[in-house]
């Protein structure tokens, strides 16, 4: 395989990318994990690509679409950081290093734009994706829950500035534990509020 990674252009249509997402995320649907990627339409995808760099991996030998990944440079009160999302690899060529190649390119883009760290999330039960994040140097950072999905999300962070690996590991561990406690007390896996949270909101007169 001769993989080339480039920014999406007219050679790849939104329809082709949508098909790739549906094929790549079929394994997640089979696991009962409803990623939003499984339900993308070409219009959704084009809308979601706003403010993102959309990378595409193609096999130069066959011309086939091999994978895709998005990166967004965010400037907010936390500074400049990168949000990595929407990685999908064609099912027949998973675990061949294409995801990691796309990742290297996303990190180059994030660094070139002055990002101090990158954030990425995935489903708690998506074992291959969790393993992939760990292999690619991400640390488990937080737990979250969204109403658009039916699972708890693991949030991963990778620092791009010089740092002590030991301190980073310790910091992420403590951050994750506090975040997981807070998230589970407030939200169910499907993003709805827990009974505990509902009681709290009632007492506060919010609900
Ligand atoms: C998860 C995904 C993006 C990984 O991309 P990839 O190109 O297949 O992975 P790479 O070849 O770059 O990396 C391989 C590493 O990822 C992990 N991994 C990938 N597939 C795995 C599997 N089926 N089981 C266990 N670990 C797996 C391992 O750490 C593996 O390293 P190893 O082979 O030395 O054990 C890809 O499999 C995919 O598209 N999955 C479905 C959609 C998805 O989950 N997207 C990510 C959502 S955030």
> Measured in angstroms, how far is the CA atom of residue 69 from the centroid of ligand 1?
13
Ligand 1 pocket test: pick from 85, 88, 99 the residue with the most ligand atoms within 8 Å of its Cβ: 99
> Measured in angstroms, how far is the CA atom of residue 132 from the centroid of ligand 1?
5
Nearest-10 crossing angle of helices 195-203, 165-186: 70
Residue 69, ligand 1, Cβ within 6 A: no
| Strands 79-89 and 117-123, sheet pairing | parallel
Instruction: Tell me the residue range of the domain where 135 lies.
Output: 3-203
Q: Residues of the chain with pLDDT > 70: what percent?
A: 100
- pLDDT range class, residue 1, cuts 50, 70, 90: confident
Residue 27, ligand 1, Cβ within 6 A: yes
User: 103-129 burial, b if ≥16 CB within 10 A, otherwise e?
Assistant: bebbbebbeeeebebbbbbbbbebeeb
pTM for the whole structure: 0.95
Residue 207 has pLDDT above 70, yes or no: no
> Across the chain, what does the average pLDDT equal?
96
Residue 186, ligand 1, Cβ within 6 A: no
- Going by CA atoms, what residue is nearest to atom 9 of ligand 1? 95
Residue 49, ligand 1, Cβ within 6 A: no
> Measured in angstroms, how far is the CA atom of residue 206 from the centroid of ligand 1?
43
The residue-averaged pLDDT of 132-153 equals 97
Contact 2, 59 (CB under 8 A): yes
The residue-averaged pLDDT of 63-72 equals 96
Q: pLDDT per residue over 160-206, tens digit each?
A: 999 999 999 999 999 999 999 999 999 999 999 999 999 999 999 87
- Number of domains the chain is built from: 1
Distances (CA, A) of 12 to 56, 97, 170, 173: 8, 21, 42, 40
Supply the CATH number for residue 17's domain: 3.40.630.30
Q: pLDDT per residue over 106-118, tens digit each?
A: 999 999 999 999 9
SS3 per-residue string spanning the chain: CCEEEEECCCCCCHHHHHHHHHHHCHHHHHCCCCCHHHHCCHHHHHHHCCCEEEEEEEECCCCCEEEEEEEEEEEECCEEEEEEEEEEECHHHCCCCHHHHHHHHHHHHHHHCCCCEEEEEEECCCHHHHHHHHHCCCEEEEEEECCCCCCEEEEEEEECCCCCHHHHHHHHHHHHHHHHHHHHHHECCCCCECHHHHHHHHHCCCC
Residue 182, ligand 1, Cβ within 6 A: no
> Measured in angstroms, how far is the CA atom of residue 113 from the centroid of ligand 1?
26
- pLDDT range class, residue 19, cuts 50, 70, 90: very high
Instruction: Supply the pLDDT for residue 206.
Output: 77
SS3 per-residue string spanning 3-33: EEEEECCCCCCHHHHHHHHHHHCHHHHHCCC
């Amino acid at each position: 395989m001769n993989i080339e990674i480039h920014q999406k252009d007219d050679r790849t249509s939104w329809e082709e990318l949508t098909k790739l997402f549906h094929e790549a995320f079929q394994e997640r649907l089979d696991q009962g994990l409803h990623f939003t990627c499984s339900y993308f339409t070409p219009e959704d995808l084009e809308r979601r690509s706003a403010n993102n760099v959309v990378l595409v991996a193609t096999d130069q030998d066959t011309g086939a679409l091999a994978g895709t990944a998005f990166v967004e440079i965010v400037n907010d009160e936390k500074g400049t950081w990168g949000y990595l999302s929407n990685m999908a690899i064609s099912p027949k060529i998973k675990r061949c290093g294409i995801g990691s190649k796309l990742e290297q390119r996303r990190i180059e883009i994030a660094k070139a734009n002055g990002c101090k760290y990158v954030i990425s999330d995935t489903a708690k039960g998506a074992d291959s994706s969790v393993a992939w994040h760990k292999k690619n140097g991400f640390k488990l950072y937080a737990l979250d829950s969204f109403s658009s999905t039916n699972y708890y999300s693991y949030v991963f962070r990778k620092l791009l500035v010089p740092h002590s690996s030991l301190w980073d590991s310790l910091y992420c561990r403590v951050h994750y534990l506090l975040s997981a406690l807070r998230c589970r007390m407030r939200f169910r896996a499907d993003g709805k509020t827990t009974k505990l949270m509902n009681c709290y909101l009632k007492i506060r007169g919010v609900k």
